[in-house]
Structure 1
Amino acid sequence: MRRSSEAFDEFARTPEASTAEGQRELVRLMEQVVEASPRDAHYHGVNASRLAELLGRLAGKGEEWAWDRGVKAVERFLTLVPESDWRYPLYLLARARLYYGRAVQTYDVADIDQALPLIDQAFKSVGPNSGIKGTAAAAAAELSLHRYEATGDPTDLEASRSAALQIGWVRNALSIDRYRGAMTFGLASTWRFERLGDPEDATSAVAMVQYAREIAQDMQRPDLFDSVAHLGGIAYRALYEVTRDPTHLDTAIDNYQSTYDATDEAEILARAQALDNLGNGLAARFDARGDMTDILKAIKCSQTALRLLPDDEVGLRAVATRNLAAGVLTLCEIDGVSEDDVGVGELIQEVLTRTDDLLREASVPETPFDPARSASRLNETEAVRLLAVQATALLHLAVRSAEPLPALERALRVLSQVRAHWEQPYITSARYALGGISQRRLPEVYVGALLWRAQLAPDPQPWLRQAFEVGESAKSRLLSVQVQRLAVDPPGEIDPDLAEREQLLLAQLARLEGQEIRHLDSLAPDPLRVYRMQRRAELTRELDDVWARLGQSSEAAADYVALRRGTNSRWAAIAAARSDIVVVSLLRAARVEVRASPTRLITLVRTRGRNGTVLLDEFRNDPTPDAYRRFVAEVPADRGAGARDETWSRLLAPVLRRLGEAVGPIDRVVLSPPTYGRGLPWHLALERAGWHSTNAGSPSVITLPSLTMLVDSATTSGLRWHVPVNAAEASGIDDPDGIGEGISAPRLIDASPAQGPPVVVGNPTGDLPAAEDEAIAVAQTVGVEPLLGGAGTREAVRNALTEASIVHLAAHAVTDTDDPLASRVKLADGDLTVNDLLGGYVRSRIIVLSACEGARGEPIAGGEVLGLAQVLLRTGVGAVVAGLWRVPDEATAHLMKAFHSALARGCSVDSALHEATTRIRAAGWQQPYYWSGFIVVTGALE
C-alpha cells in the first residue's frame, strides 16, 4: 500500500497531473492504493474516501465519466461488508466524500446536503470511542464549513465548530482526524471572528494552529506543516485585529511566505491561494505601518495569483479579485501617490475587467441579485461582494476622469443591484463586509453617489428624491419591516386563501425573529437555534412565492406586496400629499466625489405639497456624537437645569436654520435622526434653529427610527394570525428553560385597535409618591380609576396592552445599556422587560411611558436599536410617548395632565404633546430640562 500511495503522491506533483489524461492517471493510481489496502483495516475505508473525493472533484470540473465511475465505486464499496460490520460506516463516508468533492468545485449545496446525512448515519452507528466516530466528525466539520462558505449561513459555521469539538470526546480518534478537526475548528474560528469580531475566536484559532502543529510533529508528517502555516497566517492576522500588535502581522506574513515557498510549482491552486493570503497580510501590514512597499507587493501577489488560477476556478478567482481590488482601492486613497509612477488608472481598469469577466462567466444577472432564482455559479455573498467592489472601483474611476458621468452612472446601476442585499435584516451579524466596505457603509456610498449625480444633473430633484429613499430604507430595517407589516391590511380583491397564508407566514417569521433577538448573546449551535435558522429560510422562500402570486392580482396588490417586502416608498407619497407636514431625514453619506470619500451628515427635507421639492444641506462632519455628549452634560442633569451654558444645539443650528428658512411656517414635522442622534430632543433643536408654525409657535415633531415606518394611519382590522415567541409564557406558564420557544402555537386574534377605556398605572413599586399623584390626576382627566401601588401588576399591564385604547404607566423604568433585552418597567410584582414584550401583539393606540427613560434604546447586532419604545412599536402600538431622561415629578405630572386633556379634545398625539409642553412652559417650567424630555414615536399619521 505504501508503494502505491507514494506513486500517487509523486505523480500528483507533476505538471502532467493537471491534464485530462493526467487526471485519469491519478484516478488509476488511487484505485491501486485502494486495492492495495487490506480490507480488514481502517485505512481501506479511508482510501476509499480519498478516491471518491477525487472522482467527485473531477466530476465538478465537468468530467462526466468521473461521476459515473465514482457512483459505481462507492456502491461497490458498500457491498463489501454488511451494514452490521464495523467497517460499513467508513464506506458511507466514502459516498459522502463523492458528493463533497463535486460540491467543492460547483458550490452546489444540494451535494453537501446529500453528504451530511450519510456522515450523520456513520457517526451514530458506531460506539462513542470508535475511531470511525472521529473520522465522521472530522468529515462533518469540513463539510459544514464548506457549506458555510457557499451559503454564508452562520448555522453552518457553528455546526462545523461543534462537529470539530466532538472529535475531542472520541478516545480512539485517529491522529489525522484530530489534526483535521483542529484545522477546521481553527479556520472556522477565523471566519467567525470576521463575522462577529469576538476576540476569543482569534485566540482559539491561534491555539488550534499550535495544536495542529504538535499533532503533525507527533505523526512525523512534515507534509502537513504547509497547511498549518497557511492557517497560522490567517489566525495570527486575526489576532492582530484584536491586539493591534504589528508583530502578529509579521508572524502571519512569515507563515504565508513559508506556505508559498514550500508549495510545489505544479500545485497551481495551492500556490495561488498562498499568494493571495500573502497579499492580504502585506496589505494589513501597510495599514499598520504605512510602508508603501507592502501595498505594492500585495497588489503584485493578487495579480500573480489571478494569472495562475484556471478559468474554471470561479470562486477562487472571485476572492483573488476582491483582494486585488482592496489593494488598488487602498492605493487610490493615499495622498501624494503619483498615478504615473504606479499606474492607478490601469489598475482600476484591471479590477473592472476582472469583475466584469467573473460576473459574466458566473451568470450573475444585471438585476437585484436573488440567489433563489439565479443560475449563478457564485454564492450570493461572493457575487454581491464582487458587485460592491465593482461599484467602488467605478466611483474611483469617475473621480479621476475629466468626464465622470459614464462611470458614475454605471456605479449607480451596480449599487442598485446590491441594494436589496444590504436591506435584509442581518439580525445575528454584527460585522459584515462587502467588497472592503462594511455593510452599514455601503448605503452611505450609494447616497453619496446619488448626491454627486444630482450635482451633475440639470434637474437634481429626481436624484435627491432617490437619495432620500435609499438612505431612509437602510435605517432600522428590521423594525421598519415589522411595523409596516402590522399596520396595513391586504386589498380586498386578492385571493382570501393566499391572504390568510401570507398572514400566517408573517406571524411565524415574526416569532422566529423575536426568538433570534432574544438569543443575541449566543451563537451556540443548539438544536432549537439550528431549527430556527432553517425554518426561517423555508418560510421566507414560501412567502416569496406567495407574494409573487399575490402581486399578479392587481396594481393595488402589487403595491401591497411591495410594502410587505419593505421596498415600497409609500412614505414619500404621503410626504408629498400631506400639506400639513414636512419630513426631515438626517443621513450619513460618503463624499464619493473626492478620493478619500469622507463621511458627512446630510439633511434632506421633503417640502409639503404634491409638487414639493427636496431641500439639501449638509454638515461637513457628523456633529451628532459630540452634540449628544454635550447635551447629556448640559440638559438632563438633576444638579440644576440651566446651571450650564448650553452648547449642544449650536453644533446643529446653522444647517437647521437654513432649512427652516427655506421651509417656512409648518405645523408638523416628521424627523428621522442619524444613529448617534436618537437620544437628542430634535423638537428643541428645531425650535432653537428658528423653525416656526403658522401661529408663530414651534412645530410639533414626530421622531421615527426610519421614515419607511410612516403610514397614513393604522389600518389593521379584523382577525389576524399571531404566533407567540414562547407558547408557554403566552399561556401564563413559567418557562425558565425556554422550552416553549420550540412550540409553534398559531392563533387568531382581534388585530383592530383596542377600544377599551384607558388604563392608568401609578407608583406600582410604592416609592414614587409623585407618580401616584400624577396617575390620579391623569385618571381623573380620562375618566377612569387608576391602578395604584400593588394593583399595578404584570398581569394587569399585560391585559391593558391588549384591551385599553390608552395605557399610561407612571412607574420606574430602566434602560439597560449592557443588555437591551433587560430594559424594563418596574411593576408591583416584578419587571416587565423588553424580552417579555418581544413577539407579543399590543392593540393599544397610545402608550405613555412616564417617569422613565423609555424612549432610549441601545444598538444590537445588525445595527438595530432596541428599547421599550422600539419594541412596543414592533408589537403593534400606534404611538409611544416616552422620555429621553428622568424629568422631575411635579413637572411631569403637570405635563401629562395637559397632554391627556388635549388628547380628549381630539388632538393628534404629537399635537397633544406639543400643547402640553407649551402649557408647562407658561406655568413656570421654562428650562428645557423640564419640558423637552418627552418625544412622540409613531408611524401612523392622524
Structure 2
Amino acid sequence: MTFRSRVRALVAGQAAALRRSEQAGDLDRRITRLRAGVDDAEPGSLSQAELLNSLGNRLVDRHRLSGDVADLATAMDCYRRCGDLAPGTELATTALGNLAVACVNRYTQLGALEDLEAAITNGRAALAVVQDPADRARDLSNLSHALHERYYRTRHREDLEESVTVAEAAVELAAEGAPERAAASVNLAVALLERAAATESFADLDRAAGLYESAAAITPRDSWLRAPVAAGLGTVRLLQLRRSGQSRAEGEEARTIAGLRAIAERAPAGSTMRHAAYYAIGGTLWQRYLRDRDPARLEAAIEALGAAVAAAPDGAGELPRYLNALGIALSERTFVSGSYAGLAAALAEWVRALNLLDRGFGSVPMAYKLGQQDISAGLGIAERVVSAYLVLAEAVTTRAGVDRMLRNAMLIAEAAKSRLLTELIGRADLPAPPGVPADDAGREREIFAELRMLDTVELVGHGQDAGVTDAGSGGRLARRTALRGELEAVWASMTAADPRAEAHVALRRGRPLDWETLTGLARRLGPGTALLSLFLTNSRTVIFVLRSGEDAPDVCTVDLEPSQWDDILNRFDREVLAGSGRRAETWDRPLRPLLEAVSAHLGGVERVVLAPYDAGLRLPWSLMAARAGWRAADGGALPLVTMESLGLLPFLLDRRPAARGPAAVVGDPTGNLAHANAEAVEIAAMLGVDPLLGPAATKARVLDLLRRSPVAHVAAHALFLPGSPLDSGIVLADGVLTAREILAESVTLDLLVLSGCETGVAESLGGYEFAGLSQAFLQAGVRCLVASLWRVDDPATAALMASFYGDWRDGLSLDRCLARAVSAARPAGPGRAHSSDAFVLSGDWSIGWPVTASR
C-alpha cells in the first residue's frame, strides 16, 4: 500500500471540517428558515445574496452529516446566484470560494471531472481577489486539496508541487491555534505524504509527522477533526517505525486502525471519508498478514476492503484501486485453501475495476486519459486478470470453458495496449455503411473532426508549459461532453436506419476489441495471416496466436518475469544499441524457447501481425523470429508486421486511400549524408519524380509534400529525445520537424518510409501509452509506415531501400518487400544484429505500387 492509500481518509472534507458541527435537526430547521428568508427577501437585493450564501453554507454542513449529494447541488446553485446578485463585492468573492469547496466535495463523492476542474478554476479566481487572511487560508487549503486530487488522476507532478506550495501558504496564513490551522496542517501533511510516495523522500515523511503533531496539539477533543488527525499521526508514525525496523509497529497499527474505524463510523454513507477509512484499515491488516500469515488476519483484511468497495459510489475515482486490493486479498485465499474459488472471486473484482477504468475513457481530457493509463499500469490489474484467466483455464474441465478463459485473456491483453492511440486513430475519417443516412454520416465526421481537434490541442501541449497544457480547460471539457452526447444520438439514428451499422458503431466507439471484432479481423486477413499478441504477467511471458476460423487462441508461455525482462533489455542495449562485444548476442536467448513454441502454430502462414507489450516495442522481432526458425512457405523470411495494438489494424485497413498524385522523396536535408542523397535520387527515379534535396528540404516544403502525396520517402537524420518523445523529429534543412508538429497535421499518406535513425523508437507518455515519430504519423493519417528502432548505417540503409522499392515495383506486398530486403542484407556468420534489422513495418501492407509511378 502506498503512503497515500494509508491517509486518503484524511483528505476529504477538510473545508467542511472548519465549520461548526450541528445536530441534523438543528440544521434542518435553520435551512428551512433560510429558504423562507430567501423567498421573502427583495429579489436581487444584497440581503437576498447574503441569505443565499448562508443557505449554501448550511446545506454543505448538512451534506457533511448526511452524504446527500442533492444538498451540494443546491448549495452550488445558491453560491452562483449569490455571486450573480452581488458582483464585485466581498460577498461574491466569499461565495466563489464556497463554491470551490462544494465542487471539490462533490467531486470526491461522485468523481465528475467537471466538478474538479470547477473547484480549481473557482478557487484560483477567489484567491485572485480575496484579502481576509482566514478566508484566504480556507481557499488556499481547498485549492491544495483539488490540485492534489487532480495529480492523482493525471500524475502531473506540477499539480502535486503546486498543491504542496499552496498548502504551505495556507498554513502560514492560518492563525496560530485556530481550527483553520489544524485543517491546513493536515492538508499539507497529506500532500507531503503523496510526494514522499512519489519520490521516496523521508524528509517529507518526517515533516508530515510534525504537521500532524502540531494539528493534534491544537485540535479540541470534541472536534470533528480529532479522529482524522489521530489516525493520520498514527499512520505516519507507523511508516516511520517500519522504515527504522523498530518492533513497536504492532501497537501503532492497532491505534491507527482504531482511529480509522472512528472515522468510518462517524462519516456519512457515501462519503469519501467512510470508504477511504475502510480501505486504509484493509491495507494495514493486509500488511500485517504478509508478516505473520495469519488466516484470520487475511479474512479481516478482506472484510475491511470489501466494506470500502461497498461504501464507495460507482463514480468514485478510488474504486478501481479498492477493487484491485480486494482482488489481491481474495486471490490469496486460493493459496491458503487450495481452492480456486478465491481466484475466481478476485477475477470478478479485477474485471469490474478494468470496466470502471474504461467506462469514461472516451469523454475525458487528454491529461486524464494519460493519467488513467499510468494508474492502470501501476496497479497491474490487466496483468493479474490475464494471469487469473490462464490459471483458471488449466483448472476448468470443459473445452468450452477453456476456450472462454483463453479468449478473455487475449482480449484483456490487447485492451491494455495503446488505448489512447487506438481511440485517436479511430476518430479518423472512415466510410460509413451504405444504408446510413447521409446526414448522420456527415455529422459523425464533423463530430469526430472536432473531437480530434480537442485531443490534438491537448496532446501537442503535453509536457509543455502548464499554461498551455492545463487539464483545467473547462470549456474544452464541457464541449467534449456535449459532443459525446450528440455522437451517441447520431449512432442511435445510424443503427435504427441500418442494423449493419452496429459493427461500424462498435468500431468507432474506440473501446477495446471484443471477440467478434477480433475473429472478424482474422477472417478478413485470411488463413495466411496469424495474429499474435505478446503479454507479460507477473511471472510469465505469453504469446497468444489467433488464426482465421479458430474459436480460441493458442497460447504459448515461458517463465519470464519483469526482472528477467529488465535483463533482456539491458543486454539488448549493450550488445545492439551500444554495439559492444564481438561474440554472438545473448539478449534474445531467454525468449527463443517461446518463439520456437509459437513456430509450431504457424504452419502455412504467409505473414505474422505481432502486437508487442510495453518495452517489447523496442526489440527487433523479425530478427528474433528468424533466429527461432520462423519461415514462410517458400522457405524465405516470414514477413512480420508490428502494431502497438491489434485494435489499431482495422482502422488502418479501413482508411481511405490517398488521392492520386506524384510521390514525395526527400534526401539529405543537412548536406552531410552522401548515401542518403544517392538513395533519394534512386528512389525518386523509380517513383518517377524529382527528389527534394539538401537545403531545399525545408520544413514548409516537406510538410506541403506530405500533405498532398500518396507516398513519401524521407532519407534524413532523425533524433529521438528520451524523456520528451513528442519533441523527437526529422532533421530538415531549417530545423527539426517534431512529432508535436506532425500531430497537428493531416498527412493522409498511403505509405511513409522514414529512412533515418531511431524513427520508430517510442517512449511511454503514461502506462502502456507510447509516443514517438511513428505514432505521430499514424495518428496524422498514414496507412503504412516503415521506420527504424536504432541508429542505422547510411550506405547499408541506401542498399536496403533500393531492394525494398524494387520488389514493391515488381508487385510484392510491402511486408514481403521489407522481409526480403532485411534478410538479404543480414550478413552470415556470428549472430549479431545488422543495421537492416532495425527497420519495422506497421499498418496496411497491402498497398500497391502507385499508379503514377514508373515500372
TM-score category (smaller protein): 0.7 to 0.9
Match of 2:748 among 828, 837, 843: 843
Check 1:351–1:397 CA distance in 2 against 1; reply closer, same or farther (3 A cut): farther
Residue type at the aligned position of 2:441: A
Check 1:926–1:409 CA distance in 2 against 1; reply closer, same or farther (3 A cut): closer
After superposition, give the CA deviation of every residue in 1:545-574 in whole Å (9 maximum; x if it has no partner).
333443455543222221112244323432
Q: Structure 1: how far apart are the matches of 2:673 and 2:76?
A: 59
Contact 2:662–2:710 (8 Å) recurs in 1? yes
After superposition, give the CA deviation of every residue in 1:132-177 in whole Å (9 maximum; x if it has no partner).
465345334423433543454667556545554556654x711211
After the TM superposition, which of the residue ranges 423-432 and 537-546 deviates more from structure 2? Answer: 423-432
Instruction: Report matched runs for 1:293-372 at 5 Å.
Output: 293=250, 296-297=253-254, 300-301=257-258, 304-305=261-262, 308-309=265-266, 312-332=269-289, 334=290, 336-339=291-294, 343-352=297-306, 354-355=307-308, 357-358=310-311
Match of 2:771 among 866, 869, 882: 866
Residue type at the aligned position of 2:340: P
Corresponding position: 1:180 with 2:138: yes
Corresponding position: 1:630 with 2:555: no
Contact 1:703–1:937 (8 Å) recurs in 2? yes
Aligned to 1:615: 555
Q: Structure 1: how far apart are the matches of 2:257 and 2:343?
A: 27
Aligned to 2:77: 114
Aligned to 1:723: none
Residue type at the aligned position of 1:606: L
Corresponding position: 1:149 with 2:149: no
Contact 1:664–1:692 (8 Å) recurs in 2? no
Shift of 1:211: 4.0
After superposition, give the CA deviation of every residue in 1:579-602 in whole Å (9 maximum; x if it has no partner).
112222221224xxxxxxxx5432
Corresponding position: 1:249 with 2:212: no
Check 1:485–1:398 CA distance in 2 against 1; reply closer, same or farther (3 A cut): farther
Check 1:793–1:667 CA distance in 2 against 1; reply closer, same or farther (3 A cut): same
Q: Normalising by structure 2, report the TM-score.
A: 0.85
Residue type at the aligned position of 2:807: A
Shift of 1:392: 3.6
Higher relative contact order (CA 8 A, sep 6+): 2
Instruction: Report matched runs for 1:53-68 at 5 Å.
Output: 55=31, 66=32
Q: Secondary structure at the match of 2:653?
A: coil
Shift of 1:298: 6.9
After the TM superposition, which of the residue ranges 482-491 and 766-775 deviates more from structure 2? Answer: 482-491
Instruction: Report matched runs for 1:118-197 at 5 Å.
Output: 118=81, 121=84, 124-126=87-89, 131-132=90-91, 134-150=93-109, 152=111, 157=116, 160-161=119-120, 163-165=122-124, 169-170=128-129, 173-197=131-155
Check 1:433–1:573 CA distance in 2 against 1; reply closer, same or farther (3 A cut): closer
Q: Structure 1: how far apart are the matches of 2:589 and 2:411?
A: 28
Contact 1:189–1:204 (8 Å) recurs in 2? yes
Corresponding position: 1:562 with 2:510: no
Match of 1:70 among 12, 34, 42: 34
Corresponding position: 1:907 with 2:851: no
After superposition, give the CA deviation of every residue in 1:792-831 in whole Å (9 maximum; x if it has no partner).
3334333333332211111222222233222222233443
Contact 2:726–2:771 (8 Å) recurs in 1? yes
Q: Structure 2: how far apart are the matches of 1:308 and 1:472?
A: 42
Shift of 1:283: 6.2
Aligned to 2:622: 683
Match of 1:581 among 529, 545, 548: 529
The number of aligned residues is 812
Shift of 1:922: 7.1
Q: Structure 2: how far apart are the matches of 1:603 and 1:286?
A: 44
Q: Secondary structure at the match of 2:640?
A: strand
Match of 1:821 among 704, 713, 726: 726
Check 1:409–1:545 CA distance in 2 against 1; reply closer, same or farther (3 A cut): farther
Q: Structure 2: how far apart are the matches of 1:491 and 1:910?
A: 29
Check 1:282–1:915 CA distance in 2 against 1; reply closer, same or farther (3 A cut): same
Q: Structure 1: how far apart are the matches of 2:209 and 2:496?
A: 56
Corresponding position: 1:513 with 2:455: yes
Q: Secondary structure at the match of 1:761?
A: strand
Shift of 1:304: 2.0
Contact 1:322–1:435 (8 Å) recurs in 2? no
Contact 1:276–1:323 (8 Å) recurs in 2? no
Shift of 1:272: 4.9
After superposition, give the CA deviation of every residue in 1:693-743 in whole Å (9 maximum; x if it has no partner).
2222331111111111122963344xxxxxxxxxxxxxxxxxxxxxxxxxx
Check 1:855–1:179 CA distance in 2 against 1; reply closer, same or farther (3 A cut): same
Shift of 1:436: 9.6
Q: Secondary structure at the match of 1:802?
A: helix
Q: Structure 2: how far apart are the matches of 1:925 and 1:308?
A: 69
Aligned to 1:416: 351
Aligned to 1:762: 667
Aligned to 2:7: none
Shift of 1:262: 6.3
Aligned to 2:331: 395
Q: Secondary structure at the match of 2:666?
A: strand
Residue type at the aligned position of 1:753: A
After superposition, give the CA deviation of every residue in 1:198-224 in whole Å (9 maximum; x if it has no partner).
66655655555554444333xx65343
Instruction: Report matched runs for 1:642-721 at 5 Å.
Output: 643=582, 645-664=584-603, 666-711=605-650, 714-717=653-656
Aligned to 1:731: none
Shift of 1:396: 3.1
Q: Secondary structure at the match of 1:714?
A: helix
Shift of 1:926: 9.4
Residue type at the aligned position of 2:528: D
Instruction: Report matched runs for 1:26-65 at 5 Å.
Output: 27=30, 55=31
Q: Structure 1: how far apart are the matches of 2:484 and 2:625?
A: 42
User: Aligned-pair RMSD on alpha carbons?
Assistant: 3.8
Shift of 1:759: 1.6
Check 1:883–1:251 CA distance in 2 against 1; reply closer, same or farther (3 A cut): closer
Q: Structure 1: how far apart are the matches of 2:724 and 2:234?
A: 40
Aligned to 2:852: none
Aligned to 2:173: 215
Q: Secondary structure at the match of 1:932?
A: helix
Aligned to 1:532: 476
Q: Which runs of 5+ in 1 are unaligned?
A: 1-8, 28-54, 56-65, 365-378, 591-598, 718-751
Match of 1:233 among 189, 210, 229: 189
Shift of 1:194: 3.5
Check 1:101–1:503 CA distance in 2 against 1; reply closer, same or farther (3 A cut): farther
Aligned to 2:490: 546
Q: Structure 2: how far apart are the matches of 1:328 and 1:78?
A: 58
Contact 1:669–1:699 (8 Å) recurs in 2? yes
Aligned to 2:236: 281
Aligned to 2:4: none
Contact 1:302–1:323 (8 Å) recurs in 2? no
Contact 2:739–2:772 (8 Å) recurs in 1? yes
Q: Structure 2: how far apart are the matches of 1:780 and 1:696?
A: 32
Q: Which runs of 5+ in 2 are unaligned?
A: 1-16, 848-855
Residue type at the aligned position of 1:573: G
Q: Structure 2: how far apart are the matches of 1:147 and 1:939?
A: 47
Q: Normalising by structure 1, report the TM-score.
A: 0.77
Q: Structure 1: how far apart are the matches of 2:462 and 2:255?
A: 37
Q: Structure 1: how far apart are the matches of 2:155 and 2:583?
A: 40
Contact 1:430–1:862 (8 Å) recurs in 2? no
Residue type at the aligned position of 2:714: L
Corresponding position: 1:886 with 2:791: yes
Contact 2:373–2:767 (8 Å) recurs in 1? no
Contact 2:340–2:392 (8 Å) recurs in 1? no
Contact 2:374–2:768 (8 Å) recurs in 1? no
Contact 1:454–1:463 (8 Å) recurs in 2? yes
Shift of 1:429: 3.9
Residue type at the aligned position of 1:301: A
The percent of aligned pairs where both chains have the same amino acid is 26
